[in-house]
Structure 1
Amino acid sequence: MLYSKIVVAYDGSEISDKALDSAIKMAKLNHFAKLEIIHVINIPAFVMGEMVITPPVKDEIELFDYSEQVVGKIKTQIQDLSNTNIEIRQGSPAKTILSFAEEKAADLIIIGSRGLNSFGEFVLGSVSHNVVQHAKIPVLVIK
């Protein structure tokens, strides 16, 4: 099956490079396919009653700088493709990826089996697991 609108979750990790490579290959099979690439910045927030508290993040500027580096990395990988869109969103990664896919009317999500959290540490599959469990469309998990 050829997919026409592919969402790729990208965090700059080696496994997300593989996910993006897979998405690029799929897009090249279908010249009409559009790649929707999302990078999610996760700044933790805590709910206390009716209040949402975002603790001060010492490295918030560093997170946004990293995101700009990630976008630069993506642009070099997709330079052969014309039908692409890159977006940076802030929020809970799994929920943000799922709502982005729905918003873009995607027919496939490609995600790495594990990635980096907002502090550059590996998160073992929690995001990809949540995406697979809650997606209404097929999800390709890359190892």
Structure 2
Amino acid sequence: MIAETVASAVSVAGLGIAAVTAYRKRFLSATRIAAYSLVPIGLVMTGVVGWVSDMVFKPSVWAGFGVLGIAWLLFVATRAVERKDGGTRKERKAAKAAQREAVAPAASAPSLGPATRPAAQPAPRAKAAAPAEDFTDIEAILKKHGI
């Protein structure tokens, strides 16, 4: 009963403020204030305020919140123990991937027998450039800056 009276008083006060705002020619703001002020009376008319007030003042509801809190603590505790024992999710994924990996990955390619043509000889490497030639650009930049 008190919650409904308070909600009605808030709605009436909000509509009064909206009227004053509209008198000052701020119609957009007045409309918005009127919309907000109609919400509490709408909640009273739909019965939401009665439902919430009944829920808040019942001890069984608070006991239910306590049970939910205990359940949440149990979930958190089991997650902490699981992480302590089993490592992180990344470590578990890496362990599973290692189990799926082949025993001898290099041996997985099929053998085709001896080659029918001689293996190609690697191309002779070009003579490495002299180290002085490699740094000519750097030396030019350093000389340009006076270093």
Tell me the TM-score normalised to structure 1 length.
0.19
Larger Cα-atom Rg: 2
Query: Which structure has greater helix proportion?
Result: 2
Structure showing the higher strand proportion among its residues: 1
Higher relative contact order (CA 8 A, sep 6+): 1
